[in-house]
């Protein structure tokens, strides 16, 4: 593979990268919202979301073994659905990957401003973007090492929080160990609504596939890493939510968005609550590193394919052989966060991500149709599970606001116009898509 970067990542590094992207402490951050929506059964919501997203993870695992390159959903669609679909999926993925670093930096800055209000949010945003970019430009070796350290600290924080919750629960009257799983107030409607919100916590598990060309053994390790990230992350989210729900039975909070901070004070005191908040900030920095790296790798791959100008996007620089232009471009786009609305930007990410997830599952079915006479392929694994996953992702897409859906469609229309220009009114083959197998 041309211009391959020198760093080679092990299964451990890939899994840590994916967990950092998802952020292990995220369940603590959104616990209050999930608990309120589910009427006090947050762990069940996280467990249901884990199962739902695992369906898409299985499809990513299958395709990453077949196509061990960094293009992820874009490349899979290119090879299995044809040039037009490949470009549309790539353009949708681009929407998610371009906005995700900005949202990660902005959320990180909001938390830092809450902890250290002397520095304004925009000031923290500039600091976050500068520090993250300095590390990622230095290369994958430094990024990988720092990512491992920060993710270990993040997991340690979660385990410490679990320990405090266990101590607190031991000294309280028991409501029943099954109460956080299902109780007299629980409804299937509330559970599915909460699980739909919890599913957003898993965005980014697919980012592991963008590092296929930097993995030591991509055909073996990328599929394993994808499944490990979903499984470990989902179980961690569920365990944390269970103990938090056991510590605070029911779904009533003074403010669901600050429920974790209030619960931290309750189980460990003010100092512990401040420590948890600071630890969450540390975990957030690891997530910022992961999202910037994965976005830069997708831009690099699309540049190498000629879909984006290769002169800029397909260039690796320095001894570390990093896509510096892509990293700086993403950093520049992150500055939009100074005046951005977190909720709207996050919703646009969801539009691109769930559309791409659905497309990847369609790719698996297309592969089954093409290869079923040549290979012994499971109809359950290659058709039934992907169909269920498509249903899940389309349902999640339907929950987005009309404004967000229209904005997402407008982005796709812009992509179509760009493709028209790129191919001189569709009179020339789409760059990078001429060698599609049939």
Residue 232 has a pLDDT of: 94
Contact 68, 219 (CB under 8 A): yes
Residue 128 has a pLDDT of: 93
pLDDT above 50 for 3: no
pLDDT-derived band at 5 (thresholds 50, 70, 90) equals very low
Structure confidence by residue, pLDDT tens digits, 136-148:
999 888 888 898 8
Calpha distance 117→70 (Å, rounded): 40
- Whole-number mean pLDDT of the chain? 87
Q: Which stretch, 24-33, 43-52, 151-160, 252-261, has highest mean pLDDT? A: 43-52
Terminal Cα-to-Cα distance of the chain (whole angstroms) = 23
Describe the chain by its helix, strand, coil percentages, rounded to 5: 75, 0, 25
Calpha distance 328→351 (Å, rounded): 25
Tell me the domains of the chain and their CATH numbers.
11-422 (1.20.1740.10)
Residue 438 has a pLDDT of: 32
pLDDT above 80 for 422: yes
Structure confidence by residue, pLDDT tens digits, 350-380:
888 899 999 999 999 999 999 988 888 999 9
DSSP secondary structure code for residue 251 in this structure: S
Predicted TM-score (pTM) of this structure:
0.85
pLDDT above 90 for 243: yes
Structure confidence by residue, pLDDT tens digits, 60-100:
999 999 999 877 888 899 899 987 788 889 899 888 888 88
Q: Which of 105-114, 141-150, 183-192 has the lowest mean pLDDT?
A: 105-114
Q: Which of 81-85, 180-184, 239-243, 414-418 has the lowest mean pLDDT?
A: 81-85
Of 79, 303, 348, the residue nearest 203 (C-alpha): 348
Calpha distance 139→291 (Å, rounded): 14
Backbone φ and ψ for 322, nearest 5 degrees, come out as -110, 150
């Amino acid at each position: 593979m041309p211009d391959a970067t020198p760093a080679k990542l092990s299964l451990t590094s890939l899994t840590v990268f994916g967990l950092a992207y998802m952020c292990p402490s995220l369940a603590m951050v959104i616990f209050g919202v999930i608990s309120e929506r589910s009427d006090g059964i947050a762990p069940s919501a996280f467990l249901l979301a884990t199962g739902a997203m695992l369906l898409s993870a299985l499809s990513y695992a299958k395709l990453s073994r077949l196509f061990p390159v960094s293009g992820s959903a874009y490349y899979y669609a290119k090879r299995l659905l044809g040039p037009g679909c490949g470009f549309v999926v790539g353009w949708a993925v681009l929407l998610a990957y371009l906005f995700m670093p900005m949202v990660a930096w902005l959320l990180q800055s909001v938390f830092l401003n809450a902890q250290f209000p002397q520095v304004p949010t925009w000031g923290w945003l500039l600091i976050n973007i500068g520090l993250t970019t300095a590390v990622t430009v230095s290369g994958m070796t430094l990024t990988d090492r720092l990512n491992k350290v920060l993710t270990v600290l993040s997991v340690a924080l979660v385990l410490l929080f679990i320990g405090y919750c266990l101590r607190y629960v031991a000294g309280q009257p028991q409501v029943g160990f099954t109460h956080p799983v299902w109780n007299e107030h629980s409804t299937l409607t509330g559970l599915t609504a909460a699980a739909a919100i919890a599913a957003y916590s898993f965005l980014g598990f697919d980012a592991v596939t963008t590092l296929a060309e930097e993995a030591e053994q991509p055909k073996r390790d990328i599929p394993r890493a994808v499944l490990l990230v979903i499984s470990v992350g989902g179980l961690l989210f569920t365990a944390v939510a269970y103990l938090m729900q056991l510590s605070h039975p029911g779904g009533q909070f003074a403010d669901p968005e600050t429920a974790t901070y209030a619960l931290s004070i309750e189980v460990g005191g003010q100092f512990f609550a401040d420590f948890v908040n600071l630890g969450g900030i540390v975990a957030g920095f690891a997530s910022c590193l992961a999202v910037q790296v994965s976005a830069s790798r997708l831009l690099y791959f699309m540049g190498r394919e000629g879909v984006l100008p290769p002169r800029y996007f397909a260039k690796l620089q320095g001894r570390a052989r990093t896509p510096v232009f892509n990293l700086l471009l993403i950093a520049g786009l992150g500055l939009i966060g100074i005046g951005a609305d977190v909720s709207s930007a996050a919703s646009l990410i969801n539009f691109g991500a769930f559309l791409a997830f659905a497309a990847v599952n369609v790719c698996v079915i297309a592969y089954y149709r093409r290869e079923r006479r040549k290979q012994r392929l499971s109809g359950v694994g290659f058709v039934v599970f992907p169909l269920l996953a498509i249903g899940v992702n389309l349902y999640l897409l339907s929950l987005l606001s009309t404004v967000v859906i229209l904005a997402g469609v407008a982005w796709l229309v812009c992509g179509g116009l760009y493709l028209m220009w790129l191919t001189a009114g569709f009179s020339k083959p789409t760059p990078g898509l001429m060698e599609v197998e049939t």
